[in-house]
């Protein structure tokens, strides 16, 4: 079993819809939870990070962490075609390397 599991998709939704992306993990020692966005033929870029449990909001994006369920989510409100990308979750113990999910490919249909 992988430490971090992520549904690869692909996921297609109409413009303006709310998107929900999720990851599960097995190691309860993870403390930092991140979402990276990767456009086609580009390197990943950090979108948001959360420390421990709770929610964090940044514009149209909300990251949620539920440590009791070992489950993290990224919500995108009012999705735009420019949000079409692969979204990777990543986790770390802090002061350590990142463990990535395999990524979910998202397409927003105009």
Of 11-19, 45-53, 64-72, 73-81, the segment contacting another protein by CB under 8 A is: 45-53
Nearer to another protein, 82 or 95 (CB): 95
- Should residue 53 be labelled a site residue for another protein when binding is judged by CB under 8 A? no
Report residue 9 as tokens: 């998709």
Rounded-to-integer distance, Cα 75 and Cα 3, Å = 22
Of 14-22, 71-79, 93-101, the segment contacting another protein by CB under 8 A is: 93-101
User: What do you get for the CA distance between the two ends of the chain, in Å?
Assistant: 37
Nearer to another protein, 22 or 92 (CB): 92
Cβ at position 83, least distance to another protein in Å: 19
- Should residue 100 be labelled a site residue for another protein when binding is judged by CB under 8 A? yes
Contact at 8 Å (CB) between 75 and 61? yes
Sequence-ordered list of residues with C-beta below 8 angstroms from that of 61, at least 6 positions apart, any chain: 35, 47, 48, 74, 75, 76, 77
Binding site for another protein (CB under 8 A): 6, 31-34, 41-46, 49-51, 88, 92-103
């Amino acid at each position: 079993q992988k430490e971090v599991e992520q549904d690869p998709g692909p996921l297609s939704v109409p413009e303006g819809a709310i998107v929900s992306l999720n990851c599960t993990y097995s190691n309860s020692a993870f403390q930092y939870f991140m979402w990276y966005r990767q456009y086609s033929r580009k390197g990943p870029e950090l979108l948001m990070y959360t420390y421990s449990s709770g929610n964090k909001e940044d514009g149209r994006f909300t990251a949620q962490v539920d440590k009791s369920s070992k489950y993290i989510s990224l919500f995108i409100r009012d999705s735009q075609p420019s949000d079409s990308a692969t979204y990777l979750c990543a986790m770390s113990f802090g002061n350590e390397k990142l463990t990535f999910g395999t990524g979910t490919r998202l397409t927003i249909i105009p």
